[in-house]
Structure 1
């Protein structure tokens, strides 16, 4: 169960209660203003990330190798979208857990990220296979 969905509103209510008890209506105004500001900052960040992602093709990343190096378990989907500056290409049926998204770079390498309830649980990078040169190929020109 996701305790953040319960814990954050509960902490907000506790802060409002103590503000009312210690400072009256002025304390409620101060705490309510702080909670609204926190919410606005969160929405502004989310909108900025989505605005940047809307300007790039779905599933494209500049370097799959760099994305693979930056990923850590527990990152949420919004954080990964902010790192890649692009929405991932959904590889599983919509609204089915776990969700798998793919980001591909120009060289054909790609990273498949698996998210369980919006949190990154695993990822795998795959590089395209380089064809082997034939044995009787002429040497490269200098």
Structure 2
């Protein structure tokens, strides 16, 4: 049994390690980039990139949208109509319109509270830069054992 904090840390380190390994793989594959580019159709390369981007970025945000549909589906629709339907609201950017509409609905339906704004404002501050290269390559169990020995 691990506590929630250690599981979150482990997931973070696994994600960093996988990003690091992905970078190494891409670095090695870039040596063969010209060969891959010549022998692979461009559409095939772009489809996998767009699918990954949609999965990791859009789906995560869309699930948050689905959690409070009364507040978020109208701004979501405004953004989709603006970007894909080429609907214009004069000189005002489409994202600004969606942001204002979503904010109005959030305050009108009591989904937003002053305490949430205070909490969010307290989080916004400068943080030191972190690059945990040592922690990426030391297994979680070994790190926990080292911490216990230090105590």
Where is the strand percentage greater, Structure 1 or Structure 2?
Answer: 1
Asked if TM exceeds 0.5, the reply is: no
TM-score (norm 2): 0.28
TM-score (norm 1): 0.30
